Amino acid sequence: MDPYEYRRQNFTLSEDDETVREAFAEFFEKESPVTRARDAEPLGFDSELWQLGVEMGLTSMALSEEAGGDGAGLIEMALVAEEFGRSLAPIPLIEHVVATRLLAAAGDPAHADLLAAAIAGERIIAFVPRPLAGRQIVHTAAIAQDLVTFDGDELVLVSADGARAHVVNEASLPFAWVDTTAEQVIKIEASDPAALFETAGREWRILTASALVGLTAASLELGVEFAKTRETMGTLIGKLQGVQFPLADVHMWITGARNLVRRAAWFHETEPEAEQSLAYEALVYATEAAVKGTSIAAHVQGGLGFIGESDASLYFLRAKGWAHAAGSVSAELRTAGEIALTQRRAKRDVETREPAGLIGAAL
């Protein structure tokens, strides 16, 4: 098999990738234990952890060196996002990273100061993955003063005069209402705003899916550890098929979702015009795996898994919250199908025309 074609089917990590993953796994394990997520409730934001993340390079690493960043790609950021999700870190990592990448790609000099402040972590900005118009509830809007989004025609920056009122929710995420008719809306000049928004949307979906993989993996570990120590009638519950099989299912879902995320990240970075539906597919699969997987991990622990003080319960609630932030799963799945169908029809049309072209040239 051609080495390049082999790489298109093989998404194992390189030595450098492993180094990145290990560095941020250590960072989040040390600086963001689950207790930190609890302490950040109900807003879901820890300013001290945010500053530590800035010092670690979280706000700059995903940008090119020309834009003032460190040149990391989406594959590396997906690895970081998985460790971020594993710890339930109460910082707006994904929304901020995608927003800064979009601003940098647009290259509008009018927003150069904002971009510099965002890279330095001095100002939190957030990407909104759906066109924003009128009054909508938006994830991260309670802590990000500036939102980068699309109004259907142009990229825009939606800014509030002050902090938006936090909408209290069971997942303790920073949701807030955003009203584009009442807030300042400024156009972001870009050569192809729709394409830039679509690219940023795929990045947001890939990173969110990766974070959900990490969340589900951590939840599974809680369920497995409980099953290895809890007894019923003198027998470890981990020896019961009714416990083993559901946990094995969750492990398979995690493995499948992780592989799909890495495949999506690789194609997005190396062949951005190919397999564009992968980002949507990864988010749908990772969302469903997270909601079902965290539910199973909690069920394994019985009533203990559903009390408010339980970490299993926290992971379940956060999985549901992030699923809501992603919007409608059915809509994401429909979009994935439409993109895949369009690309395959285009490929079929090209393959159908090529023989005729060759014959015509020969004649």
User: Does a structural domain hold residue 155?
Assistant: no
- What residue numbers bound the domain in which 237 lies? 194-352
The answer on pLDDT for 231 being more than 70 is yes
Position 2 confidence tier, pLDDT thresholds 50, 70, 90 = low
Where residue 277 sits, what CATH number does that domain have?
A: 1.20.140.10
Question: What's the confidence (pLDDT) of residue 261?
Answer: 95
Q: Is the pTM of this model over 0.85?
A: yes
The pLDDT-based confidence of 350 (bands split at 50, 70, 90) is confident
Measured CA to CA in angstroms, residue 38 lies from 41, 119, 193, 250, 251 at distances of: 5, 27, 39, 25, 26
Q: Report which of 233, 226, 240, 239 is spatially closest to residue 315, judged by C-alpha positions.
A: 226
Cβ contact 170:317 at 8 Å: yes
**Kind of pairing between the strands at 146-150 and 125-127:** parallel
132-173 confidence digits (pLDDT tens):
888 999 999 999 999 999 998 999 999 998 899 999 999 999
pLDDT-derived band at 360, boundaries 50, 70, 90: very low
pLDDT at 201 (0 to 100): 96
Confidence of residue 266 (pLDDT cuts 50, 70, 90): very high
Tell me, yes or no, whether 326 lies in a domain: yes
Give me the torsion for CA of 85, 267, 332, 88, rounded to 10°. Answer: 0
Residue 330 scores a pLDDT above 90: no
Q: What is the pLDDT of residue 1?
A: 53
- Structural domain contains residue 96: no
Total H helices, total E strands in the chain: 12, 8
| Confidence label for 3 from pLDDT (cuts 50, 70 and 90) | low
Largest pairwise CA distance in the chain: 84
79's CB contacts (< 8 A; 6+ apart) are 13, 17, 20, 21, 24, 210
Give the model confidence (pLDDT) of 18-64 as tens digits: 999 999 999 999 999 999 999 999 999 999 999 999 999 999 999 99
Q: Is the separation of the CB atoms in 28 and 87 below 8 Å?
A: yes
- 79 falls within a domain: no
Given the structure tokens 């990229």, which residue do they identify? 155
Task: Give domain status of residue 100, yes or no.
Answer: no
Task: Report the pLDDT value the prediction gives residue 147, as an integer from 0 to 100.
Answer: 97
Q: Label residue 362 by pLDDT band (50, 70, 90).
A: very low
User: pLDDT-based confidence at 326, cuts 50/70/90?
Assistant: confident
Specify if 231 maps to a domain: yes
Please name which of 134, 135, 207 lies closest in space to residue 176, comparing C-alpha atoms: 135
Provide mean pLDDT across the span 267-276: 90
At residue 326, what are phi and psi to the nearest 5 degrees? -75, -10
Helix runs in 107-184, H state only: 112-119
Residue with tokens 């994401």: 332
Written as one string, the DSSP assignment of 310-323 is -HHHHHHHHHHHHH
Nearest to 284 by CA among 252, 257, 259, 320: 257
Split into its structural domains, the chain has a count of: 1
Amino acid at 77: M
Residue 109 belongs to some domain of the structure: no
CA 5, CA 8: separation in Å to the nearest integer? 5
Helix (H) or strand (E) holding 135: strand 135-138
In a domain, 335, yes or no: yes
Flag whether pLDDT at 7 surpasses 70: no
Provide the pLDDT for residue 361.
45
Smallest CA-to-CA distance from 141 within 153, 158, 155 is with: 158
Q: How far is CA 56 from the centre of its chain?
A: 19
pLDDT band at residue 352 using 50, 70 and 90 as cut-offs: confident
**Residue 294 pLDDT exceeds 80:** yes
Residue with tokens 């142009």: 154
Average pLDDT, the chain: 91
- Return the higher-pLDDT residue of 70 and 156: 156
pLDDT at residue 359 greater than cutoff 60: no
CB 220 within 8 A of CB 297: yes
